[in-house]
Amino acid sequence: MKLSAGPALGLCLLVLSLLHNVSGGNLRTFAEEATSTPAADSKNKSTKNSSGTDTIANSSFGTGTYPAEDGGESFLEGFYAWLVTAPFEYRQDDPSGSLADGEDGAMGRRRLFPQHLLGEATVPYVRVDYNWQSIDSDIDADDFRIELGYKLLAFHGRATQYKDQSDGFELDIEQYYGVVRYGGYRPDFLPGTFEAGIGLGMSRIKTNDSTIGDESGTALTFPLKYYPVQWFGVEFRPAWYTFVEKRVGDYDGSVSFGYRYLQIRGGYRWMTLQGSGTFNDGPYAGLSLSF
Residue 87 pLDDT > 80, yes or no?
A: no
Give the per-residue pLDDT at 262. Answer: 96
Identify whether 177 is part of a domain: yes
Identify whether 75 is part of a domain: no
Residue 288 pLDDT > 60, yes or no?
A: yes
Give residue 220's domain range. 6-39+120-290
**Cα 290 from chain centroid?**
10
Identify whether 68 is part of a domain: no
Distances (CA, A) of 69 to 56, 58, 72, 173, 247: 12, 8, 10, 46, 46
Residue 256 pLDDT > 90, yes or no?
A: yes
What is the rounded (10 degree) CA torsion for 257, 262, 265, 269?
140
Q: What is the model's pTM?
A: 0.69
Which of left, alpha, beta for 15 (phi over 0: left; psi -120 to 50: alpha)?
A: alpha
Number of C-alpha atoms within 13 angstroms, CB side, residue 147?
A: 28
Identify whether 194 is part of a domain: yes
Identify whether 63 is part of a domain: no
Region 239-249 average pLDDT: 92
Give the per-residue pLDDT at 29. Answer: 75
Give the per-residue pLDDT at 115. Answer: 79
Whether the Cβ atoms of residue 123 and residue 104 lie closer than 8 Å to each other: no
Which is it for the CA torsion 102, 105, 107, 110, positive or negative? negative
DSSP three-state, residue 280:
strand
Identify whether 45 is part of a domain: no
Residue 201 pLDDT > 90, yes or no?
A: yes
Give the per-residue pLDDT at 81. Answer: 61
Which is it for the CA torsion 255, 258, 261, 265, positive or negative? negative
Helix residue ranges, H only, the chain: 6-17, 27-35, 75-80, 95-99, 106-109
- 6-55 pLDDT, tens digit per residue, is 555 555 555 455 445 544 556 777 777 776 655 444 444 444 454 444 44
Residue 165's CATH number: 2.40.128
Name the residue with higher pLDDT: 209 or 132.
Answer: 132
- 45-66 pLDDT, tens digit per residue, is 444 454 444 444 444 333 334 3
Region 135-162 average pLDDT: 96
- Tell me, what amino acid is at 36? S
Residue 84 pLDDT > 90, yes or no?
A: no
CB environment 88-97: b (16+ within 10 A), e (fewer): ebbbeeebee
Residue 96 pLDDT > 50, yes or no?
A: no
- The pLDDT > 90 percentage for the chain reads 51
Alpha-carbon gap, residue 137 to 210, rounded angstroms? 25
Identify whether 258 is part of a domain: yes
- Binned at pLDDT 50, 70 and 90, residue 132 comes out as very high
The domain total for the chain is: 1
Identify whether 264 is part of a domain: yes
Residue 140 pLDDT > 60, yes or no?
A: yes
- 155-190 pLDDT, tens digit per residue, is 999 999 999 999 999 999 999 999 999 999 888 788
- Binned at pLDDT 50, 70 and 90, residue 244 comes out as confident
Name the residue with higher pLDDT: 123 or 26.
Answer: 123
Q: What is the mean pLDDT of the chain?
A: 77
Residue 240 pLDDT > 50, yes or no?
A: yes
Alpha-carbon gap, residue 255 to 222, rounded angstroms? 17
Residue 285 pLDDT > 70, yes or no?
A: yes
Q: Which residues pair with 113 in a beta bridge?
A: none
Distances (CA, A) of 288 to 48, 143, 235, 240: 37, 12, 12, 23
- Binned at pLDDT 50, 70 and 90, residue 79 comes out as low
